[in-house]
Amino acid sequence: MDKLYVIKIGGNIIDDETKLSLFLKEFANIDGNKILVHGGGKLATKLADQLGIASKYINGRRITDEATIDVVIMVYGGLINKKIVAKLQALQCNAIGLTGADANIIPATKRPVNDIDYGFVGDVAVEELGFANLSLFLMSNLTPIIAPLTHDNKGQMLNTNADTIASSIAIALSILYDVQLIYSFEKSGVLMDVNDENSVIRSITPSSYQDLKSGKKIFEGMLPKLDNAFAALDNGVKKVIIGKAEQLNDMINGNAGTTIVNE
Amino acid sequence: MDKLYVIKIGGNIIDDETKLSLFLKEFANIDGNKILVHGGGKLATKLADQLGIASKYINGRRITDEATIDVVIMVYGGLINKKIVAKLQALQCNAIGLTGADANIIPATKRPVNDIDYGFVGDVAVEELGFANLSLFLMSNLTPIIAPLTHDNKGQMLNTNADTIASSIAIALSILYDVQLIYSFEKSGVLMDVNDENSVIRSITPSSYQDLKSGKKIFEGMLPKLDNAFAALDNGVKKVIIGKAEQLNDMINGNAGTTIVNE
């Protein structure tokens, strides 16, 4: 099977023009199939503030009301997505910017209201997630750049977690490709000591993960990311790498970041 | 050859939710290949005003400075484009929202500064305009929804006239398809009397156009539109129709609007 890299970048790269440009250069140079999923960054909050739209949070989680969904469509689906696409085109990478609504690549449902109404937030409809159009783009040498937005198939756009989009796509495409899922964030990898960037754990397997957890050696905030990584591996993804976007090449070559494998 | 409809809608439809929904229903029901090109509408000006960005005009033409290009990327490429895509998906039309940068469907160059610096405005690079990716989408039963934005292939997005995008695409795709180009605007067609909506000229040919022009029977503001229409016909487009978006079906069936043909 051909290799496919599904790479997620977050706000720490998106908000920094210099870092973003350097990252995109390395990204454009990756040989073969690749998909970029980007998060939002601070721009949406900044724009909402300028427009006098109050950001609402419940238990630390943002609520996406009607005014806010318009802002995130503009910032994630418009400004950030198209700036990345234009920069990649200049680097001879034939990028195509997409949300989950475009070509219906990511069907979703509005999160049901239980205790909390998160508003226009989407949960990926994993069972409906096909790979037809994404693989069509890849086979035509196009590089999908995906914004963290989906739609409910009833005409409504929905704000959606970029990590979930990345893992859902990686899993769906693992039927056709040998998929490596790369999560970039602000740290160099999973750290033994959260304050020491040199304490990167180079490799984690299911058994070493159990040891690390029972020994409480991993920063608690990392556990959901790692649980997601193992779920992706259990569903067909070959390898998950967690690290700094600035070290993309080294991560791919196995010289940086934390590699998570099911063996 | 298969038929292809390239349809341009302007601000009068985009700014009116009810009209837009009705138009999209008729659009979704068109049998066969179709491409929608949308303009901007008043939302960009409104957002610019809210953000305290002054709209600048020289000789009645808008100047796109650095703050303004960000606003139009957000509004045209984000909000309007994705709302149309989500609504069409709900109507079982597999829409894919694109700017000229996406899959490099519309290469352009920044308008050179002569007397006036229009700022980040793009002129379509017609000689570089291919049809490969647009036809790939059409052949995969996807319906491209194109925002009036292009890129300079050096990483910069550019504000671009939607009428020009529509005619450029129609011409480029006339190699593969029997193309009908439909321009919708606020009038029912080309009018003999600009104040009488019932005075639609049903058909214009090159010779009748000369008569109408020499008799000064056409409203002067229509002449550039008609010149563009004949240029499209001279370059491979089969038929140009000008009329009201609310009468899309009737225009296609020859029961409304002004049909411009080269015979």
How many other CB atoms are there within 10 angstroms of residue B52's CB atom? Answer: 8
Rounded Cα distance, B156 and A85, in Å: 10
Q: Which residues of A touch B90 (CB under 8 A)?
A: 153-155
CB contact under 8 A, B157 and A86: yes
pLDDT tens by residue, A14-42: 999 999 999 999 999 999 899 999 998 89
Give the predicted TM-score (pTM) of the model: 0.96
- Asked whether this complex has an ipTM greater than 0.90, the answer is yes
Query: Residue A39 has which token pair?
Result: 């998060």
Residue of A nearest to B101 (CA): A86
User: Nearest-CA neighbor of A129 among A103, A155, A93?
Assistant: A103
Q: Which pLDDT value is given to residue B38?
A: 97
* Spatial distance between the Cα atoms of A129 and A175, rounded to a whole number of angstroms: 12
Residues of A in contact with B98 (CB under 8 A): 96-97, 102
The band of B27, judged by pLDDT with boundaries at 50, 70 and 90, is: very high
Task: Record the tokens describing residue B235, joined without a space.
Answer: 């370059």
Q: How far is CA B2 from CA B87, B92, B136, B253, in A?
A: 26, 21, 14, 17
The whole-angstrom distance between A258's CA and the closest CA on chain B is 32
Long-range contacts of A237-240 (CB under 8 A, 24+ apart): A237/A167, A237/A170, A237/A171, A237/A174, A237/A179, A237/A180, A237/A181, A238/A174, A238/A178, A238/A179, A238/A180, A239/A180, A239/A181, A240/A180, A240/A181, A240/A182, A240/A183
Residue B95: predicted pLDDT: 98
pLDDT score, position B163: 94
Q: How many CA atoms lie within 13 A of A75 on its CB side?
A: 20
| Residues B65-97: tens digit of each pLDDT | 999 999 999 999 999 999 999 999 999 999 999
Pick the more confident residue, A58 or B236. Answer: B236
pLDDT at residue B189, rounded to an integer: 95
At B115-171, the pLDDT tens digits run 889 999 999 998 888 788 899 999 999 999 999 999 999 999 999 999 999 999 999
The tens digit of pLDDT for each residue in A121-175 reads: 999 998 888 788 899 999 999 999 999 999 999 999 999 999 999 999 999 999 9
> Residues of chain A whose C-beta is under 8 A from some C-beta in B?
47, 50-51, 70, 73-79, 81-83, 85-87, 89-90, 94-99, 101-104, 133, 136, 140, 142, 149, 151, 153-157
State phi, psi for A48 to the nearest 5 degrees: -60, -40
Determine which of A72, A73, A141 to mutate to test the interface with B (most B C-beta atoms within 10 Å): A73
- Check residue A221 and give its pLDDT: 81
- pLDDT, one tens digit per residue, over B207-219 is 999 999 888 888 8
Helix ranges, B30-159 (H): 43-50, 66-72, 81-90, 132-139
3-state SS assignment for residue B33: strand
Q: Dump pLDDT digits (tens) for A38-68.
A: 998 899 999 999 999 988 888 777 799 999 9
Q: How far is CA A244 from the centre of its chain?
A: 13
For residue B58, name the pLDDT band (cuts at 50, 70, 90): confident
